[in-house]
Amino acid sequence: MNQRGQSTVEFVLLVPLLLTLFFLIFEFGRVFGSWLLITNSAREGARYGVTQTFNSSADSNIMTVASNRARFLSVQQVACQNNQGQPPTGSTSCIYVSRSTDSSTGDDMLSVLVAYQVQTLMPITGNIPYLGRINYPGFITVYGQADMRGEQ
């Protein structure tokens, strides 16, 4: 039998699948790395907030610390629209600072939520079964939240 070109046909059939797999791994790494940085920045902001005087005027300082700790990401020092972490129109990130008092112990509680939209690079657009419409390039929002008790 004549099997000339068989390896070329196999190569052409496998390259799109291998490239898709490669780009998915790359995107997953970018999103996961961004999530780690955002989670750390929320934790650092909350830690800073509980070691300072417990008042609402320090919220801008907490936002500054959280923004500066998100190394390699440009987290904007703007407040989220609500406690769900929705960035305001025109922003790609936000920080939400919430203060409360624990009713059972009377301890002051501080919660810092950082939301960041990771801009995706993988060029895929279309309908994927069971997932719905995928629109790349777009963004994926990652959230980092830290809750801490105030120090006395």
Condensed to tens digits (0 to 9), the pLDDT of residues 67-103 reads 999 888 888 888 887 766 778 877 888 899 888 887 7
Percent of the residues in the chain that have a pLDDT greater than 70, as a whole number: 82
Q: How many domains does the chain have?
A: 1
Among residues 116, 27, 26, the alpha carbon closest in space to that of 73 is found at 116
Contact between residue 142 and residue 31 where contact means Cβ atoms under 8 Å apart: yes
Instruction: State pTM to two decimals.
Output: 0.79
Strand ranges in 2-135 using DSSP code E only, listed in sequence order? 93-101, 108-119, 125-128, 132-135
CA distance 23 to 29: 10
H-helix or E-strand containing 24? helix 6-51
**Whether residue 38 has pLDDT greater than 90:** yes
Q: What is the DSSP letter of 87?
A: P
1 belongs to a structural domain = no
Q: Domain span at residue 108?
A: 6-149
- Which of the residue ranges 8-22, 31-45, 48-62, 121-135 would you say has the lowest mean pLDDT? 121-135
Strand ranges in the chain using DSSP code E only, listed in sequence order? 93-101, 108-119, 125-128, 132-135, 139-149
**Whether residue 43 has pLDDT greater than 90:** yes
